[in-house]
Amino acid sequence: MTKPPYRVVAWGDSIAAGNADTAWPGVAERSCQVVINTGRPVQVINEAVCGKPAAHAVREFEARILPHRPDLVIIQFGFNDVRHDGSRGPDPLSTPEEFEQHLASMIRQCRGQAQADVIVLGNHRTRTNIRFPTGRTYEESRILYNAIARRTAAQAGVEFHDMSDPAHLPDATGWQELVVPDGVHLSPLGVTVYGRAIATWIMQHVTTSVPRPAEGDV
């Protein structure tokens, strides 16, 4: 009897969305199927959207995440929440306090409505020196919002991995290799590093999960 697929949804911004050719969810799925396959198929569904902040994504759970009936949701936001688009005067798209509320709500939705496990990712380092109206640089903002993501995950009792941790970069000689010249988006090597690391975490969940009944089964 064929085992039902273990469904993973990537819920994030352009870091997961990637481009038409490559993105880490695809690398993670291939790694799970080809390299560390334990006999249960793994499907990684990419619901990440370029430019999306948690401030907007939090309202899209029922449309973008719940229909997939995920076993695991991987959440990574922050790079767009620190942006200023002029719509909020001196405030970014999510203030630190708002970002914490958005993440906490997203985790509750995944665990409560979808009955899914959750992994929260902190963002990798950047190499851009833009200074925002808040007075913080892009990198200072990343550090702050990563700390919020870590704290929010801990309070909710879910897994957190900081993608700026050098321990996650076995294929790179330095974090600078993970990003393209804009200083934020992933290089081809960055996509590979992300995908391989995340595949390992996915498979740890797969090996301890109990398959759900197929939709419609009693």
The predicted-structure confidence for 174-193, as pLDDT tens digits, reads as follows 788 888 998 899 999 899 99
Segment among 65-69, 136-140, 170-174, 190-194 with least mean pLDDT: 170-174
Domain ranges for the chain, please list them. Answer: 6-206
Give pLDDT tens digits for 88-138: 998 999 999 999 999 999 999 999 999 999 999 999 999 888 999 999 999
- Whether pTM > 0.85 for this model: the answer is yes
Q: H helices within the chain, ranges in order? A: 14-17, 24-30, 54-57, 96-112, 138-156, 188-206
Q: Residue 152 burial (CB < 10 Å; 0-12/13-18/19+)?
A: buried
- Given CATH 3.30.300.20, say whether it is the number of domain 6-206: no
Nearest Cα to Cα of residue 199 among 18, 17, 32: 32
Amino acid at 132: F
Please, which residues bridge with residue 72 across strands?
8, 117
